[in-house]
Amino acid sequence: MIATGIVAITLIGIVGISIGRFGGTNPAGPGVVLDGIASIEGGFNKGFVFLKENLEELINYKKNANKIAKIEEQKEDLEQQVIELNKKLDEVESLESLKKSLNFIDEKYKANRVAASVVAKNDGNWYDSFTIGAGSEDGVKKDSIVVNGNGLVGKVYEVSKNYSKAISLLDSKSSVSFKLMKDSNYKGVITQNTTLDNKESYKNKGYLQGYMFETSYDVLPGDVVVTSGLGLYPEGIPIGEVDKVIDDKNKSMKHIVVKPYVNFKNVEDVTIIEPRNIG
């Protein structure tokens, strides 16, 4: 603005001198001078309009920049709130899952139970074996039963002070006696050590394998499989549903392939139940 003022004063002085010099004898007449003044005035008007428009844009830019900064701050606050809400939701879902798992266990086995999280697993996609963040100091014992909100997961095979190691039903060393929900007389064993031709393909899908005690048992796809109560596991813990029935005529066996209720690709929170004393 100061520079513009100085330029204006200088130009006005030049115009005054020109008028004085050519006041009475200007051969071109006053029109030339007036045209020059008009031209200069037009240039100044354009200059002031340009400055005004750009100054407004500058002011608006600063205001918009402040608004953007505030929006960014609000966005960060909202993202943090979403993270906290998701964390609380996960905790609620975990508690609900553990609460549901207790419904699978008879009341006399609920006295000694431990809720814990899985802290490590074996290599590969499936939870064949895994480590639980609870040990002997928490009351965990060898052969304790491991369940979650979907059903039977497996059992503990090694216990240290603060951690325990467990195998799932997918492990080749694991086996469990089962019965069909529709008829408790129809029993068998879940084990990955079968003689099925496509046993590896079933395991790669995360499915369980087993066989019926009698070939005459009427077992069909969709039948619900639960623990029978024989051996280590209490009766009635859900295992899964029959996906396929395979008759082995040569060995007089009826094999079954079971789709488990537990997602063995993702085992996070579990309930550990003290084993039964079956002497």
pLDDT at 43: 56
Confidence band (pLDDT; 50, 70, 90) for 194? confident
Q: Which of 32-46, 95-109, 180-194 tops mean pLDDT? A: 180-194
Rounded CA separation 224/182 (Å)? 7
pLDDT of residue 210: 93
CA distances 240 to 31, 73, 224, 257, Å, are 105, 49, 6, 10
Determine the pLDDT at residue 33: 46
Q: Which residues of 235-263 are buried (b: 16+ CB within 10 A; e: fewer)?
A: ebbbbbebbebeeeeeeebbbbbbbbbbe
pLDDT at residue 48, rounded to an integer: 55
Q: What is the pLDDT of residues 131-175, one digit of tens each?
A: 999 999 999 999 999 999 899 999 999 999 999 999 999 998 999
Q: Which of 150-154, 188-192, 201-205, 236-240 has the lowest mean pLDDT?
A: 201-205
How long, in residues, is the chain? 279
* pLDDT at residue 137, rounded to an integer: 93
Q: Kindly report, residue by residue over 50-63, the tens digit of the pLDDT.
A: 555 666 666 676 67
Higher pLDDT, residue 112 or 133: 133
Q: Are 256 and 244 in contact (CB under 8 A)?
A: yes
Mean pLDDT of 118-139: 93
Residue 87 pLDDT > 70, yes or no? Answer: no
Whether 28 shows a pLDDT value over 50: the answer reads no
| Topology classification of domain 112-279 | Thrombin, subunit H (2.40.10)
CA distance 160 to 170: 23
Cβ contact 113:274 at 8 Å: yes
The amino acid present at 161, given as its one-letter code, is K
Q: What is the pLDDT of residue 26?
A: 47
Per the prediction, the chain carries an average pLDDT of: 78
For residues 268-279, give the mean pLDDT.
79
Question: pTM for this structure?
Answer: 0.64
d(CA 34, CA 158): 106
Q: Determine which of 39-43, 118-122, 208-212, 250-254 has the lowest per-residue pLDDT on average.
A: 39-43
Look at residue 152 in the predicted model and tell me its pLDDT. Answer: 95
Cα 256 from Cα 254, distance rounded (Å): 7
Contact 103, 147 (CB under 8 A): no
With CA atoms as reference, report the closest residue to 177 among 226, 246, 220, 219.
226
**pLDDT (average), residues 208-212:** 93
More confident residue, 188 or 101: 188
The SS3 of residue 15 is helix
pLDDT tens-place string over residues 169-190: 999 899 999 999 999 999 999 9
